[in-house]
Structure 1
Amino acid sequence: MTATERTVAVVAPYYPPKVGGVENYAARIARAVAEAPGLRPVVITTRLSGLRTTVDVEDGVQVIRLGAWLKLSNTPLSPLWPLQLRRWLRRTGAEVVNAHAPVPGLADLAVAASGKRPSVLTYHAGSMHKGEPGSGAADRLIGLYERRVLPKVFRRARTLVAVSPVSLAAGHPHAVEISPGVDIERFTPGQPASERPRTIVYVGRMDRSSAWKGVDVLLTAFAELAAEVPGARLRLVGGGDAVQDHLRLAADFGIADRVEAVGELTGDALVEVVRTAALAVLPSRTEAESFGMVLVEAMACGTPVVGSAVGGIPHVVTDGETGLLVPPGDPAGLAAACRKVLTDGGLADRLGARGRQEAERRFAWNGLMERYIKLFQAL
């Protein structure tokens, strides 16, 4: 580090190689800081497994991975983090802290540990209420956190960044909105949607704790659709402890031979799956879906999209123009929308072309990251 460089600590509970929207968002910021004159990034995140702290240089960026003692739902936790965060912020010479909060824990502590350093809290979630059967106790704890703890964290941060209008950070006096983005030079259109095989793709987590993602709704809808649309197939991309549950449900519906789970994909493999699909679907059921990154990536590929009219999805998709929206938790409505796209080639091609234009106009990473750099430099 030179004498004129300022260090920005990007603190996120998840970071690549773990796959997800928050991970990609934090990595993009670290890369943008590394490329900006006068700024230097350091990443503080958590390990996928193990208790000891590791320090490595990944893609030219120092990455410090703290051990997690336990995981509640999808949230890593450790009682050592308050001390460890203070120590690593001091040792790395961090002058600005950018904390990312999709769940309680590391980001909250990073804002508290920032001391006199200006902190930028990027809040990724709408309400984290699961709203699922059996989640009453968890929802009560989440409600208590969102009412009592989160407002204090918001006040402590110098600047708030909301990733969509439904982020709980949106609307605060010191909040700005900077959405996730897409690499429009990597996610590029393939052949027109009407000429592609009739494959529907879902990309996302498939954990039992993330049942609000609505994959069971998608399977129910596809069972209806498969009987009416010859050659239609469903491809599930992602990992989690619910994958086998979904495959058993597909077998119960008699559609196992038309449903494929391919695991987690990244890089060119993910791009290829999205750009060759006839349709991408995000069937989330609750406000916990604050954005919908997979929809933006599909739009950039000229792939028509169908999403639930819930959370931040309507912020991404304009119904009838850049995609179709359906009521959350409505298998019949979802099946009807998918059938419409798969059987109307003109509609599919219009939605795909318009989606690509919207991705270029609103969600290109370069323009979004320029706003972050200006924000850090101002601090």
Structure 2
Amino acid sequence: MWPFFFLSWLLPWFVFRYKPTYLLAQCPVLGGLAAAFCSRVFRIPLFVELHGAHYFAPARPGWKGEVEHVLYRWLSRITFWAATRIRSLSDDMSECVLQVCGAATYKKVIVIPNRVDLEIFRFSKSTYATDGCFRVITVGSFFPRKNLYALIEDLCKTGVDFRLTLVGAGPLKEEYLTLADRLHMRDRIEMVSLDHQSLAALLPQQDVYVHYALSEGVPRAILEAMAAGLPVVATRVGFIKGVLCDEENALVIDQPYTDGLVKSLRSLAESEDLRRRLGVAARHTIEERFEWNRVFDQYRSAIKAMSLEER
């Protein structure tokens, strides 16, 4: 991650060489600071994106999370000062920008949600009946903030005959496998790394999507599961409130997460009608608000409308 920060300082050469009309930074710090410098020196409008909650609160426990949060929070202010527009993923995220960065930065914010390509995720569940075991899937990197270690432990407390598919990769894979061995459930867990096409084909074959993270922005993984018509169980973290509505298009759980997961999984495992109602509502939410082309039109229009006078 941080090597990219240093490599990003090659950006001034590229800007000088190719003379772009607009600059876009997908992170206010990793690439964003170099883009802010170029925006000011070369007088080019800058569009900055926000994708996570770590600008507003630590993404992981302990001193490392605190230090990381402080760095992101203060360094991002430099980029926000230079930015012409700041993309927020939801109204909740915009409110956090106002509270943390002030009214001057908030004036630059425009809400453009994440998007899902329904050409790729065109397949939705056709049946909500189960085949004897309850198929649970989650997508994300194997890092502590995704809370997958706790998910494996807590699934064992549900009393549901489940099969868990973890889609992703990362340094904690061996820890998860060791835990599965200790709990005598290695045969009930599969870990795979998939491209989008393969993921789009796999999701409708599952019974429920669980997002058990401790910190999030507005994860696209949840949106893609919703596009597949899966009922979603998710922790109430980050800015998912703008996407998920408890009991309407998902089941949203509060702390203690173990209790919420056990209750939600049992309810879904026992009720085909509940699975169908939440899954159909989830797909409808994506089609109405997060369809790729519709959101991209907002994105492109916001960039093309920028001018230096707005800063």
How far 1:154 sits from its partner (Å)?
Answer: 0.7
Aligned pairs (5 A) from 1:85-96: 85-96=11-22
How far 1:260 sits from its partner (Å)?
Answer: 1.0
Q: Match for residue 213 of structure 2?
A: 284
Q: Match for residue 115 of structure 2?
A: 181
Query: Is 1:124–2:51 an aligned residue pair?
Result: yes
Q: Secondary structure at the match of 2:156?
A: helix
Return the letter of the residue paired with 1:199: R
Query: Is 1:257–2:187 an aligned residue pair?
Result: yes
Mark the CA change 1:377 to 1:256 in structure 2 (over 3 Å): closer, same or farther.
same
Q: Secondary structure at the match of 2:233?
A: strand
How far 1:108 sits from its partner (Å)?
Answer: 2.2
Q: Match for residue 203 of structure 1?
A: 139
Q: Secondary structure at the match of 2:21?
A: strand
Q: Match for residue 63 of structure 2?
A: 136
Choose which of 194, 213, 219 in structure 1 pairs with 2:146. Answer: 213
Deviations 1:295-336 (A, max 9, x none): 111111111100001111222111001010012562232122
Q: Which protein has the bigger strand share? A: 1
Choose which of 81, 87, 92 in structure 2 pairs with 1:155. Answer: 81
Deviations 1:343-379 (A, max 9, x none): 2100000001111110100110111110122122223
Q: Secondary structure at the match of 1:76?
A: helix
How does the TM-score come out when normalised to structure 2?
0.87
Contact 1:302 1:355 in 2 (8 A): yes
Contact 2:54 2:72 in 1 (8 A): no
Q: Match for residue 241 of structure 1?
A: 171
How far 1:123 sits from its partner (Å)?
Answer: 1.2
Query: Is 1:193–2:128 an aligned residue pair?
Result: yes
Deviations 1:42-96 (A, max 9, x none): xxxxxxxxxxxxxxxxxxxxxxxxxxxxxxxx443454532x1011122223110
Choose which of 216, 225, 229 in structure 1 pairs with 2:160. Answer: 229
- Separation (CA, whole Å) in 2 of partners of 1:141 and 1:190: 40
How far 1:237 sits from its partner (Å)?
Answer: 0.4
Q: Secondary structure at the match of 2:252?
A: strand
Choose which of 279, 289, 297 in structure 2 pairs with 1:352. Answer: 279
Contact 2:113 2:290 in 1 (8 A): yes
How far 1:111 sits from its partner (Å)?
Answer: 2.2
Q: Report the aligned-residue RMSD.
A: 2.0
**Larger relative contact order (C-alpha < 8 A, sep ≥ 6)?**
2
Contact 1:193 1:302 in 2 (8 A): no
- Separation (CA, whole Å) in 2 of partners of 1:202 and 1:222: 12
How far 1:162 sits from its partner (Å)?
Answer: 0.8
Query: Is 1:110–2:35 an aligned residue pair?
Result: yes
Contact 1:194 1:345 in 2 (8 A): yes
How far 1:152 sits from its partner (Å)?
Answer: 2.4
Mark the CA change 1:75 to 1:81 in structure 2 (over 3 Å): closer, same or farther.
closer
How far 1:177 sits from its partner (Å)?
Answer: 0.8
Q: Match for residue 366 of structure 1?
A: 293
Give unpaired runs (5+ residues) of structure 2: 99-105, 307-311
- Separation (CA, whole Å) in 2 of partners of 1:265 and 1:204: 11
Q: Which protein has the bigger helix share? A: 2
Return the letter of the residue paired with 2:206: A
Contact 2:29 2:75 in 1 (8 A): no
Deviations 1:137-162 (A, max 9, x none): 4413422441x322221121001101
Mark the CA change 1:136 to 1:123 in structure 2 (over 3 Å): closer, same or farther.
same
- Separation (CA, whole Å) in 1 of partners of 2:128 and 2:2: 38
**Divergent runs of 4+, >6 A:** none
Q: Secondary structure at the match of 1:105?
A: coil
Q: Secondary structure at the match of 1:95?
A: coil
- Separation (CA, whole Å) in 2 of partners of 1:219 and 1:104: 33
- Separation (CA, whole Å) in 2 of partners of 1:127 and 1:328: 20
The more displaced of 237-246 and 193-202 is 193-202
Q: Secondary structure at the match of 1:194?
A: coil
- Separation (CA, whole Å) in 1 of partners of 2:45 and 2:52: 22
- Separation (CA, whole Å) in 2 of partners of 1:243 and 1:236: 10
- Separation (CA, whole Å) in 2 of partners of 1:310 and 1:377: 33
Deviations 1:246-266 (A, max 9, x none): 11112222221111111x211
How far 1:164 sits from its partner (Å)?
Answer: 2.7
Contact 2:59 2:214 in 1 (8 A): no
Contact 1:98 1:120 in 2 (8 A): yes
Q: Count how many residue pairs are aligned between Structure 1 and Structure 2.
A: 292
Query: Is 1:98–2:33 an aligned residue pair?
Result: no
How does the TM-score come out when normalised to structure 1?
0.72
- Separation (CA, whole Å) in 2 of partners of 1:80 and 1:180: 27
Contact 1:215 1:283 in 2 (8 A): yes
